[in-house]
Amino acid sequence: MSRGNINYKYLRRRKSWFRRNLTLIIIIAVVTIVICFGGFFAVKSILNISGKKNSTNSDSGNDATEQTTVAREINWIENTEPADNEVTYTPPEGVSFPYFIKVNRAANCVTVYGIDEKGEYSIPVKAFAASCGKAGDETIIGENYTTSDKYEWRQMVDGTYAQYAFRISGGYLFHSIPYYSTDKSRLEDGQFNKIGDFASLGCVRLCVRDVKWIYDNCPAGTNVTIYDDETNPGPLGMPETIKIPDGSPNAGWDPTDPDDKNPWKTCSAAITGASDIETEVGQQVDVLKNIKATDICGNDITDKVIVVGRYTFDQAGEYNIKYEVTDAIGSKAEVTVKLTVK
């Protein structure tokens, strides 16, 4: 039935449908609400997780920056070539006596002085280790002795022979270590090993290289002063000496003799145990581990090895390291290895 524009029959049908399906409608509404709220919290959780990740990444970035900053603080090790302390001296032209020799008897050290522009012997040029006379056979002492006779070979008072003898005064001479005969392979090697200590019968003994230098460069008439100073060997210090090992097949020769027949000339200082090194950043290693060195006579001089090069353990790279050693008579050895820092 219809009254005016209202369809009461339709309204009764729609009201009847809502009543019949009310429970279903409520269930659908609840499920919808749950789904909506669940989605909201899920999105929020995702955003929170993302934010934490970003925060973590940011923190990691700070750590990386700090690590980079630390890595840039590199500790470089720089070892340069040692200074050459050898004196360069050229005597002035026209000078008859370019050198003056002073023997420190108490220190068994000889220092040769050159002449300066004022004509004074004030420039220390060379120092030699010597053997002066021991107690009972003391070397003379005094000022301004004048050298005279020279002998390439000279027989000594005890029947031995010496090379490059150069008279200081009377029976006192500069000369080499004694030989049993005028044969250069017949050296008294035990006496050679006493250079730097008292051993002579009054003369001033030196190795062949050093006494030959005086013989060749100081003319007869050169002044010599002999004095005692136990505390100060001289302005150039006391030179090192080399020793001939017992039982050496070359023992009959002075290692410093420049003669071409000298078997020591086939020998040289040597470095062994050197090889390339590998390590990792931050892990320092002893670059001298396993390094050994010997002098021309085979004596251990490992403590004289020096390291030359610029390297670091704080940065990856390849670096060259050079080992050097020089023995007491000037024989030199060098070995270069590669340090790899990964």
Q: pLDDT band for 136, please (50, 70, 90 cuts).
A: confident
Q: What is the pTM of this model?
A: 0.76
Determine the distance from the C-alpha atom of residue 7 to the mean position of all C-alpha atoms in its chain, rounded to a whole number. Answer: 114
Domains 99-242 and 267-341 in one fold? no
What is the SS3 assignment for 12-80? HHHHHHHHHCHHHHHHHHHHHHHHHHHHHHHHHHHHHHHHHHHHHHHHHHHHHHHHHHHHCCCCEEEEC
Please answer whether residues 237 and 114 qualify as being in contact, where contact means their C-beta atoms are separated by less than 8 angstroms: no
Lowest mean pLDDT among 55-59, 126-130, 291-295: 55-59
Lowest mean pLDDT among 54-63, 101-110, 215-224, 315-324: 54-63
% helix / strand / coil in the chain, to the nearest 5? 25, 30, 45
Tens digit of each residue's pLDDT (9 = 90 or more) over 17-33: 556 666 777 777 766 77
Q: Report how far residue 222's alpha carbon sits from residue 115's, in angstroms, rounded to the nearest whole number.
A: 12
| pLDDT reading at 117 higher than 70 | yes
**What CATH number matches the domain at 99-242, 3.30.70.920, 2.40.50.140, 2.40.440.10, 2.30.330.10?**
2.40.440.10
Amino acid identity, position 59: D
Tens digit of each residue's pLDDT (9 = 90 or more) over 213-272: 999 999 999 999 999 999 999 999 999 999 999 999 999 999 999 999 999 999 999 999
Q: Which residues have C-beta within 8 Å of that of residue 280, sequence separation ≥ 6?
A: 341, 342
Segments making up each domain of the chain, as ranges: 8-71, 99-242, 267-341
Cβ atoms within 10 A of the Cβ of 252, count?
17
| CATH fold group of domain 267-341 | Immunoglobulin-like (2.60.40)
Tens digit of each residue's pLDDT (9 = 90 or more) over 87-97: 889 998 889 99
Q: pLDDT band for 48, please (50, 70, 90 cuts).
A: low
pLDDT of res. 137: 85
